Amino acid sequence: MKNRIVGLISAVVLVFCTVTPATIQSVTAQTIEPPPGRPIPDYCRPGEPCEDENGKRYIISDDASREALSNTPNGIGDSDDYGYTLTETTYSWIDASDGVNTYIDNTNDVTSAISLPFSFPFYENTYVQMYITGSGYITFENYGWVDSGVYEVPDQSLPNNIIAPYWKYHNYGNLSRVYYKSFSDKFVVEWFSLLNSEDQIHTFEIILYQNGNIQFQYQELPEEEPLYSFSSAGIEDSRGSDGLSYWSIDEPLATSLSSVIFTKPDPSGRLLLTPQFQGKFVYPNETSQFTFTIKNTGDLGVDTYNFDVLTTWVATLYDFSSGEPLTDTDGDTKIDSGPVDQGSQKEILVEINVPEGLSVGAHNEVVIDATSNRNPAKTKSLKLESTIPTSFAQSFRDGIDSNIRFNLNWPSRQLQ
């Protein structure tokens, strides 16, 4: 389920070694936050050094600061990574009450699968059915349950793959209904006369268009919600990693007799790298291996992805399935993935040769940028970190109860 806002627990791990500082190849970073509004790469982890596009290093303190500093799209005029844009549009209510009554109420809060009148494109996937919930959102996944709390959009915890015009806990009175109605070129879901804790009326709807555009319409909303009656509205992909919010865990931005539209982007080359961050302990004079997956999430057919590799230690990329080193298959002087069909993915193996003679604390980062040949503006990055470890570590935890705890940890077998 989506994560509620909770108190944060900070932790500091201190690694001790018996060598002098001069023998440690360390990564230094200013323990400051980057300027607000600067995108934080997905591979940056709380408490770890990260670097911006200008080479300036910084440390983000926790996941909450990442979200705040990344300036998640929120409101009119924004767009997400995939390319959906959010704009205001003309309000023109479509009455779906003569369509199908879902009979959603306070005890029956989700429908079974409902067929769409056309194949609906949503992010890189296409759907022919969906599920309507009583909490003001639809989803293309059959979770079998409904989450009615207050949640971020987007967020990687479940549920994902959602379209939410007004996501919150809604009460259902005697007049409350949820309808849907199919047309040849659009599909409408209407939430009629839903109530909040003060019995104020909420009537709103989604319109799914055959071309992939999504419209939210608000017929009647309270002028002011009860105190702390937060909600969210927006769209989110199947992984919960990309999305576009109208508002997110906040007071609603919508008003009565208003409408907004999420416009699907034109066909383009796109890609997805997973995972975007990995790390492990290594030892001098060994070969360390990582794997990652590159997926063609574009909609222009076959694509090839060029790789730029930044590393101090030697790193070589291989096609995982064949074991062959990656080469320049398209003649542009850069190694690449080779052709990847639309919707398909390829697993890449990275071998890193760890040099001899390294001391405890020696550290290496491999940053790999992958760029679509179909659209060179679409680039994703991942980071692979390697470190020579000590034989033990001491950790101090400042718990939520303000007590300091100490742990001494060591492996059952040690390599001296």
Residue 273 has pLDDT above 70, yes or no: yes
Residues 346 and 363 in one domain: yes
Residue 22 has pLDDT above 80, yes or no: no
Question: Tell me, what's the pLDDT at 76?
Answer: 87
Determine the average pLDDT of the residues in 48-68.
51
Residues 153 and 197 in one domain: yes
Task: List CB contacts of 312: < 8 A, sequence separation 6 or more.
Answer: 364, 365
- Overall number of domains in the chain: 3
Determine the average pLDDT of the residues in 258-283.
94
Residue 244 has pLDDT above 60, yes or no: yes
Residues 172 and 233 in one domain: yes
Residue 129 has pLDDT above 80, yes or no: yes
What is the per-residue pLDDT across 203-212, written as a single tens digit (0 to 9) for each? 999 999 999 9
For residues 68 and 355, which has the higher predicted lDDT (pLDDT)?
355
Question: Tell me, what's the pLDDT at 251?
Answer: 82
Distance CA 67, CA 279 (A): 22
Question: Tell me, what's the pLDDT at 145?
Answer: 87
Look at 23-32, 73-82, 122-131, 246-255 and tell me which has the smallest mean pLDDT. 23-32
Residues 43 and 160 in one domain: no
Cβ-contact 288, 354 below 8 angstroms: yes
**86, 192, 205, 255, 294 from 221: Cα distances, Å:** 20, 11, 12, 6, 44
Could you tell me the pLDDT band of residue 17, with boundaries at 50, 70 and 90? very low
For residues 82 and 60, which has the higher predicted lDDT (pLDDT)?
82
Q: Residue 342 is part of which domain span?
A: 268-389
Amino acid present at 262:
F
- How many Å from the N-terminal Cα to the C-terminal Cα in the chain? 44
Residues 7 and 152 in one domain: no
Nearest to 396 by CA among 9, 12, 8: 12
> What residues does 101 pair with on adjacent strands?
179
Residue 43 has pLDDT above 60, yes or no: no
Residue 38 has pLDDT above 90, yes or no: no
pTM over 0.85: no
What is the per-residue pLDDT across 385-414, written as a single tens digit (0 to 9) for each? 999 988 766 666 666 666 666 666 666 665
Phi, psi of 318 (to 5 degrees): -130, 155
Q: Which of 263, 287, 319 is the last residue of a domain?
A: 263
Could you tell me the pLDDT band of residue 144, with boundaries at 50, 70 and 90? confident
Residues 183 and 297 in one domain: no
Collapsed DSSP state (helix, strand, coil) of residue 130: strand
CATH for 275: 2.60.40.10
Residues 131 and 5 in one domain: no
β-bridge pairing 379-387 and 277-281: parallel
What is the per-residue pLDDT across 285-332, written as a single tens digit (0 to 9) for each? 999 999 999 999 999 999 999 999 999 999 999 999 999 999 999 999
Kindly report whether the peptide bond that precedes residue 284 is cis, defined as omega within 30 degrees of 0. Answer: no
Residues 94 and 217 in one domain: yes
Residues 366 and 409 in one domain: no
Nearest to 255 by CA among 204, 218, 210: 218
> What residues does 351 pair with on adjacent strands?
289, 316
Q: Tell whether 311 is covered by a domain.
A: yes
Residue 78 has pLDDT above 60, yes or no: yes
Q: Tell whether 197 is covered by a domain.
A: yes
Question: Tell me, what's the pLDDT at 319?
Answer: 96
Residues 167 and 281 in one domain: no
The rounded percent of the chain whose pLDDT value lies above 70 is 76
Residues 383 and 397 in one domain: no
Determine the average pLDDT of the residues in 69-81.
69
Residues 230 and 279 in one domain: no
- What rounded mean pLDDT belongs to the chain? 83
Angle at CA 349, nearest 5°, toward 27 and 371? 75
DSSP assignment, residue 262? E
